[in-house]
Chains A and B, each alone.
Chain A
Amino acid sequence: AQTVTQSQPEMSVQEAETVTLSCTYDTSESDYYLFWYKQPPSRQMILVIRQEAYKQQNATENRFSVNFQKAAKSFSLKISDSQLGDAAMYFCAYRSSNTGNQFYFGTGTSLTVIP
């Protein structure tokens, strides 16, 4: 089965600064999808950004962007101009295009934003 690794259990960033959360995954597939989800204290899981493996261009959504390195199997999330509302748990997820519809989630990174 595919595995997703988030090696940073906790991160902190000063408000208005930039922070990068790391994610690596293990797969033998060439076609798949990657996601970052945010879980604030409310517990609601919210999609932040998605990336198709066949696209070389990195996805961006406003202040959120990814650095997708397919050969290295790396998928980091960069948050620019960090805001207090960005404080949350962030999960990286992998979705196979071959083995059914299953998603694989990392263990999460808890982000603290310091005023």
Chain B
Amino acid sequence: DAGVIQSPRHEVTEMGQEVTLRCKPISGHNSLFWYRQTMMRGLELLIYFNNNVPIDDSGMPEDRFSAKMPNASFSTLKIQPSEPRDSAVYFCASSLPLTGGHEQYFGPGTRLTVT
């Protein structure tokens, strides 16, 4: 299995631009999570999906952030407009169903720099 795939691995953009991060979960996993990691705030859960449905988006910082999961094999996290404080590493993770207490599998992350 290829694991969780994220693209791009690195993104540098100017303030005000739209940024789209992409994630392909492991096949068969029905839960998908988006995290943001910074030195100041650590690892923060932004949103998670079960069976393509957003369950909890309370971690999404503000309306500039949006996430979609149009099908079981693809999700996007969009920031529009981007700001320098959005600079962070964004991780996508996927998991099998809760029964069995399965662990999350993380992608390699996307390092976002907003200048």
Chain A positions near chain B (C-beta within 8 angstroms): 32-33, 35, 37, 42-47, 50, 52, 91, 93, 95, 97, 100-103, 105, 107-108
Contact = CB atoms under 8 A, between A and B. Distances in A.
Given A101-B98, A102-B48, 4 more contacts: A37-B106, A44-B108, A101-B48, A103-B45
Contact of A45 (B45, B50, B56, B106): B106
Contacts, number: 56
Contacts of B101: 32-33, 50, 52, 95, 97
A45 B56 CA distance: 22
A95 B33 CA distance: 13
Given A95-B101, A101-B31, A103-B104, A45 B93 contact: yes
Interface of B: 31, 33, 42-43, 45, 48, 50, 55-56, 89, 91, 93, 95, 97-98, 101, 103-106, 108-109, 111
A91 B103 contact: no
B43 A101 contact: no
Nearest to A98: B98
Name the prevailing secondary structure of the A interface residues: strand
Q: For the complex, would chain B's binding face be called helix, strand, loop or mixed by DSSP majority?
A: strand
A43 B33 CA distance: 17
A31 B8 CA distance: 38
19 contacts: A33-B101, A35-B103, A37-B106, A42-B108, A45-B91, A45-B93, A47-B104, A47-B105, A50-B103, A95-B98, A100-B55, A100-B98, A101-B48, A101-B50, A101-B55, A102-B56, A103-B104, A105-B42, A107-B43
Given A91-B43, A105-B43, A100 B103 contact: no
